[in-house]
Amino acid sequence: MEEFADLLRSLARPGIRLTIAGPAPAETAATRFGGAPDVPADFRWPVFATATFDDDTVRPRPLAFLAQFRCADLAPLDREHLLPEAGLLSFFYELGSQRWGFDPADRGCARVFWFPETDGLAPASFPASLPAEYRLPAMGIAAEPEVTLPDAEDFYANRPDRDDDWEPYWEARAMLGMDDDPPEDRSRLLGWPDVIQGSFFRECALTDRGFYLGSGTADLSPEDARAEREAAEEWQLLFQLGTVTGEGFELMFGDCGRVYFCIRKEDLAARRFDRVWLILQCG
């Protein structure tokens, strides 16, 4: 078991745990959840053409602004120096449809913007067509470094000795003092995701290559099969957002779910944040 624990320990990834609560800082370009995003003068609010739970008409709909992060705040916590060290990272998602990310047509339901300079940023005006319930209240975000381990399905995904006995994994995880039931409000940047419905990096790889995964996987070419097989090595969690609650407010994804902004490691290094893929999982 000690050998198994060492193997699990070797797969640990540093992450940044986020606690969303309390008042947001007042200054422009500060790290916070909700409120109006701070953007440059030429910013165009992102939209996504979709029907929603309440309206079956497909039309362009403004994405909701979720959170922004001042990169200078994150730099001391980013142990692998994966994120930009300056500027502002901003995250948007279309809340009226809450797309799951298993359909190539979901591309654009979530967007990430990196503004390299914070000088000149100012609060954006909400689009008139953005419903009031999707104009999220501003809240503070506290960040701290953490060590994350792969979920059991991520751990076994590409191991040739995979079998149905996952007990060694859970025993090793307990030996390392890691919880096995993260709370539904668990949010983080980087690290391993806290999955709800199993490993999803293969979904990122295949939907990005044009496969619809809502009814199984079609026959894969050798190149597609390689992309699926190597997905966990090529893709990286960028931002995980769980349930957010405040005074008279709750944002929940599906039934106690989470959304995961994912990105290829090479795209993250090149700052190509327009290539993120979003996955939603819930109970």
In CATH terms, 2-34+60-281 corresponds, of 3.40.50.1820, 3.40.50.880, 2.30.320.10, 3.30.1330.20, to 2.30.320.10
The domain locations on the chain are 2-34+60-281
State the pTM of this model.
0.94
Please enumerate, as own/partner, the contacts of 211-216 that have beta carbons within 8 Å and a separation of 24 or more. Answer: 211/104, 212/102, 212/103, 212/104, 213/102, 213/103, 214/102, 214/103
| Side-chain-side CA neighbours of residue 233 (13 Å) | 7
Predicted local confidence at residue 159, as pLDDT: 66
Q: What is the pLDDT of residue 220?
A: 78
Tokens 């769980």 appear where?
A: 242
**At a CB cut-off of 8 Å and minimum separation 6, what does 112 contact?**
89, 90, 91, 92, 238, 239, 261, 263, 273, 274, 276
For each successive 10 residues of the chain (283 residues), what is the average pLDDT?
81 96 96 98 98 96 98 97 98 97 96 97 98 97 95 76 71 80 90 92 90 72 80 93 94 95 98 97 91
pLDDT of residue 152: 85
- Grouping H, G, I as helix, E, B as strand and the rest as coil, residue 57 is coil
Whole-angstrom CA distances from 261 to 86, 127, 182 are 20, 23, 18
What is the reported pLDDT for 217?
Answer: 58
Asked whether 120 and 138 are in contact (CB, 8 A), the reply is: no
Token pair recorded at residue 206: 């295949």
Selection from 162, 147, 189 nearest residue 10 by Cα = 147
